Structures are given as structure tokens and as C-alpha cells.
Amino acid sequence: MNNIVAIVGRPNVGKSTFFNRLIQRREAIVDSVSGVTRDRNYGKSEWNGKEFSVIDTGGYIKGSDDIFEGEIRRQVELAIDEADVIVFVVDVEEGITPMDEEVAKLLRKVTKPILLAVNKVDNGQREKDAVEFYNLGLGEFYTFAGMNGSGTGDLLDALVELLPNAQEPEDNEELPRFAVVGRPNAGKSSFINALIGEERFVVTDIAGTTRDAIDTTYNRFGFEFKLVDTAGIRRKAKVKEDLEFYSVMRSVRAIEHSDICILVIDATRGFEGQDQSIFWLAEKNRKGVVILVNKWDLVEKDNMTTRDYECKIREELQPFDDVPILFVSALTKQRLLKALETAVEVFENRKQRIATSKLNDIMLPIIEHNPPPALKGKYVKIKFCMQLPTPTPQFVFFCNLPQYVKEPYKRYLENKMRDIFNLSGVPIDIYFRQK
């Protein structure tokens, strides 16, 4: 189970610089996923052998100065709810500001581990100035300089010490987990209620009624799995404005701990920025994805509507557009069982193993017929390929000059494999290595 670290603080103290330093240390080496990283506010990091997810709350604040304060308060409250460790970043140049005091007041009430990180400390004088931050009443602090990285190592040592040890799953069966995710009011609870046939998830206005994603064991098509609802999680008291940040942060944990993400979108609103953030979050975590366009009964239709709507969504999904898209209605129960059946198929696709001999028999003639383009007069010869023994489909192609195989050819091979082997709804990774 992955731990979540949230970086909080007022604007312009260097939260994003610290965040970028954390995720680049790892992603520059490990994350060879093709395509653009769509969400710059979420990433994975690793230090001393401990892996954790990082959320930068700063990138989501939009608007004028006068609404900053309310926004920061809400983001800190949400971080307190969701994160395992909170890093509170302050700026030694400006000292303690009234907004820092507001954030500290919220943090002093919580029992979760808090790390006070004083940024822009890059000389002895500033080291002395940092003593002022004891006045925030949060105990010890760590000094660092986000721009050049000094002090970051000690800060990270302290951070990973505070991370709770990964818990073993309680049940040994380890049933597949299907997370129902999406923006607020897309119909996630209605979808689950319609499937289960009871009002299991009651949406109330009482703050804090549902804190954790609720699991329901479900058995259909002779297939047993856990259905995880993230809908009731958001406390109604906090939903003043419908901002991207909240549903994304709420979805992080559910997505990371699932096998398949059923992304429910509202047909009357279209595939919006928030839906896209959640989709890329699932893709980045290499989860299987099924998209359900809910409330389809409310859309005025003509012969072209479904096809046009689907094409628009697929354009937004590029380059990973091999994803099942179903048009459903939780209200009229239209195509709900088909949706679950599709999710089960994606789960099977994600765990399939392709025999090495079969993979070579099929792929090597395709490569021979259309080899990678020559570069600087050098020809790439791909001799052998195999699937790696990883939880999600990853393939390695052995060749003489792996550095000369460029992105378009990688995409070509991926598309061929998607056509031949059933990999719908599943992100796949292709690597080239020297034999």
C-alpha cells in the first residue's frame, strides 16, 4: 500500500520546486512511460527504499489574492484528511506571515505527522533566521534550499521515518479491486446502488459521514471482486466550489489500491478537465480503465451522437485511446451489467501472459516487414522479444542499437500488439534493450 505525502503552505514558498525535486529524482530514471505527464501536481517518489506518492496542493489555487486564504484553508483540511504525512513549507526570507499562522493553527489540531520545512536556507545567516519558526508551535523544523537541493536529504530522511509501515491486506484472498471514480455528481453512487440493488451508499449532508472508500464484495458472471466507491467520501461541508483538486486528491488512494478504474463521467457535461486528470492518474499508475458515460438517458440523440461523443473522448485520450467507452444510465439501469462485464474483461486483459514463443512468432515477422528506420546510416536489428514477469503487461525487445529506436516506432509496435493480443483498456510498456 502506497503512502501519501501532501505538501502544503501559502503561495510562493517553493512548494512546487520541492515537489519537482522529489518526483524528478525518481521519474527521470524510472518513469519511461511514453506520452506527456498530464498532471503536474501528483507524482511518485522514493527515498531509502521507501516509495510514496506526493501531492502538491499549490498548483490548484487559481484566482485573486483575496480568495487565496479560504482556498488554502480548504486544501490544508483536505490534506489532513487524506495524507499520511504533511510537509508544511515556509519561507525564511519572509519569516512568519499571518497566513502561515493560519495554516499552523489548523495543523496543531491534528494527530498526523507534520514536517515543518523552512525553504531558501542557503547560508549560515539564514540558518539563524530560521529559529523564528519555533514560534509556529509545531516543534522541530528542517531547513533546506529547494533551488539547489541543499538540506533536502536530511528532510527526506526525516520524512520517510514518519511514513507508516505498509499494512498487509486483511483478507488473504486478495480479491480484484474495481474502483468507481469520477468527478462529483457524475453518478458513481447511483451506479453502485443500481448494481447492488439497494441504497447502500446514502449521500448525506452531514460533514464527515463517509471518510474512507467503501468496499462491497460483488459476485457476477461467476467472478468475485471488490467494488470500491469513492463517491460519498467528499464531505459535503467542504464542497463549496467544484474544484479539480478535491476529486483528484480523493481519487489518488482509491486508484493506487485498485486493479481496474471504472471512470464515470456525466454525459450532460462532457469529458472535462477533472475527468481527464483522473484518467491520467489511472494511466500513470498502470491501472486498467473503463469509461462509463452516465446519464445517457438525458442526452438528446440523433444517429451520430454516440459516435461523435466517443470520438471526442478518444481524441482527449491520445495516445492511450484503446479504452472501452460505454454509454449507460444508472437511473434506467441501461447497460450496467455490460459495464461490469467489460471491467472484468479488462481485468483479464491486464493479467494475461503471452508465451515467449508465440510473441516472437507473431512480432518478429512484423518487425522484419517494417523495421525501425535507419539512423545515421545504422540499422536496428531486433532479434528477440518477451513479456516481463510484472503485474501489468510490459514487453522487452532485444536489439543491437536500442538508443536508435524512437517514439513513433515504439507506438507502431504498441498498436500492432493491441490489434493482435487483447489489451483493450490496459496501459502497456515497451522497452528496448541491448541483447
416 is in an annotated binding site: no
Q: Residue 317 corresponds to which amino acid?
A: L
Does 285 carry a binding-site annotation?
Answer: no
Tell me how far apart the alpha carbons of residues 305 and 259 are, in angstroms, rounded to a whole number. 31
350 assigned to a ligand binding site:
no
How many CB atoms are closer than 10 A to CB 267?
Answer: 21
Q: Is 216 annotated as belonging to a binding site?
A: no
Does 186 carry a binding-site annotation?
yes
Is 43 marked as a binding-site residue?
A: no
Helix (H) or strand (E) segment spanning residue 429: strand 429-434
Query: Was 187 annotated as part of a binding site?
Result: yes
Q: Please tell me whether 233 is known to bind a ligand.
A: yes
- Residue 333 has which C-alpha cell? 439501469
* 183 labelled binding-site residue: yes
Q: Is 188 annotated as a binding residue?
A: yes
Answer yes or no: is 128 a known binding residue.
no
Q: Is 377 annotated as a binding residue?
A: no
**Buried/exposed code over 1-35 (b: 16+ C-beta within 10 A; e: otherwise):** ebbbbbbbbbeebbbbbbbbbbbebbbeeeeeeee
User: What element of type H or E holds 310?
Assistant: helix 305-317
Stated as kind and residue range, the H or E segment containing 16 is helix 15-30
57 is known to lie in a ligand binding site: yes
230 annotated binding-site participant: yes
Consult the annotation and say whether 232 binds a ligand: yes
Q: Determine phi and psi for 313, rounding to 5 degrees.
A: -65, -45
What's the CA angle centered on 67, arms 66 and 69, to 5 degrees? Answer: 90
Report whether 415 belongs to an annotated binding site.
no
Q: In what helix (H) or strand (E) does residue 53 lie, and over which residues does it extend?
A: strand 50-56
Q: What's the one-letter identity of residue 17?
A: T
Output DSSP code: residue 378: B
* 10 labelled binding-site residue: yes
12 assigned to a ligand binding site: yes
Q: How many residues comprise the chain?
A: 435
What is the β-pairing status of strands 114-119 and 141-143?
Answer: parallel
Asked if residue 121 belongs to a known ligand binding site, the reply is yes
Q: In what order do the strands lie in the sheet with 177-181?
A: 214-220, 223-229, 177-181, 260-266, 288-294, 325-327
The annotation status of 295 as a binding-site residue, yes or no, is: yes
E strands present in 92-185: 114-119, 141-143, 177-181
Instruction: Tell whether the torsion through CA atoms of 313, 314, 318 and 324 is positive or negative.
Output: positive
Would the annotation count 58 as a binding residue? yes
Task: For residue 325, give the amino acid letter.
Answer: I
Count of Cβ atoms closer than 10 Å to residue 326 Cβ: 20
Is 182 one of the annotated binding-site residues? yes
Residue 62 annotated as lining a ligand binding site = no
Establish whether 306 is an annotated binding residue: no
Task: Tell me whether residue 64 is annotated as binding.
Answer: no
Closest alpha carbon to 283 in 243, 319, 253, 245: 319
- Binding-site positions read 9-16, 56-60, 119-122, 182-189, 229-233, 294-297
- Binding-site positions for GTP read 9-16, 56-60, 119-122, 182-189, 229-233, 294-297
